A and B are shown apart, each in its own frame.
Chain A
Amino acid sequence: MITWRSLFKRFLSDPVAIGAGIVLLLLVLMAVFAPLLAPQNPYDLMQIDIMDSELPPSWKDDGDARFLLGTDAQGRGVLSTIMYGTGISLLIGIGAVVVQAILGVTLGLIAGYKGGWIDAFLMRLADIQMSLSTLMIAIIVLAIFQAAFDANVYADYAIVMLIVIIGVAEWPKFARTVRSSVLGEKNKEYVDAARVIGLPARKVMWGHILPNTLTPVLVISTIQVAEAIMTEAALSFLGLGMPVDRPSLGSLIRSGFEFVFSGQYWITLYPALVLIALVLALNLLGDWMRDVLNPKLRRGDD
């Protein structure tokens, strides 16, 4: 078993992990304090002037000192929209993984502890759902919703929809991980002891077995957040995710996409770099954690 202190020590001895940690911390702080740090509020129509549209970054000849990274087609500062957009991407990524973890841990615990037909049924369902691919499920479900609802209604519920869809589509990963840990723990003496003294199954599962299965849950959570952010970005890029007036990083890239080839590269380039940095930092940290905490888990065999 690894203690938090030894974990921290190993973290400090790995330059890649430190680098990824710092980048992630900076991006999270930037997103959380966006209302204080951002030069403009891109949601406040009073602060946006269409006359400022498509200005290049401030170090270019026609740049404007107010807009460090230039402006988009609606006159919003790219730096400000990135700060707010990173927050929305993180919110959806973390929210979706919370949904995945709650669903997956509960179902995995039940499948592993109860066994029998419940286990067989849940794992078969997990197999089918995994092979359908989250992105494909999300594209089809969101396409139907978008066709069924008015654009304004859709925009209001976009965040909730994305969290729920990405959350529900990915529960099997957590369920499988928890289930296999439960199978390893279930026949140990402390579980027998808890059962013998007459604790109900619910208490044995949640109070005794669950705490010993949380390490792998922690490991996959980080990588799952990265994947959820990527999925959300892809959906928003297709126009099935966040609307343009409440943009995530993916919708920012979409709104700048048509301008790339006419020279206004900055509308797309900077959100794209932030998205890559965010996902890469999460992936590197997840890989590092997996190597340290659980060398047996591998990526690619899921």
Chain B
Amino acid sequence: MQFFIDNFPLLRDAFLTTLSLSLLAGLLALVLGTLLAALRVSPITPLRGLATFYVETFRNTPLTVVFFFLIFGLPQIDFAVGFFTGSVIAVGLYTAAFVAEAVRSGINAVPSGQAEASRALGLSFGQSLREVVLPQAFRTVVPPLGNVWIAMVKNTSIAAGFAVTELTASLQRLSNANAGELVLVLLAIVLGYMLITVPSAFAVSRLERRVAILR
């Protein structure tokens, strides 16, 4: 118990850093990912190609490499961002690729008759996507998006290696200073992550039941 009391300020700050990193990166990933999914089903070939290129680039690159590029690569072309901002962008850009694929699978799950009918009624492509297809698509992709979110929360630990003192970085600091209580250190860090992921999983399953489409 003494260990938790002594290190509470560090653990709290680290937890809040992980939480804000996750929330900001998640928001970026959701917005960008949805946009990419829309581009991937658009009727304009260059836009489709662009979105496919983005998804395949980020989905097939290790997150650590994305971090390296944003934190150490960009400053060399005189475009420096702070370590925290850079981490949000890195995790957000990377996760957007996975969000895009999940949302696209949802779009594909909407019967094509829906889109055809809305076009026949005179809606534009954007209107039919916004008003008819995406609302149904999002309902079917709640579970996969929940998976992407949980994976992303854990992926924020890469930021520990790039000067962001989040939970995993505090693990490195505390484990050296408290070598005798390593189990407690690990426990505190795992609890920190679970404080975010377990309620998320619970919320996702609630949401899934509430928005499920009964066909």
Decide whether A and B are members of one complex. Answer: no
Binding site for A on B (CB under 8 A): none
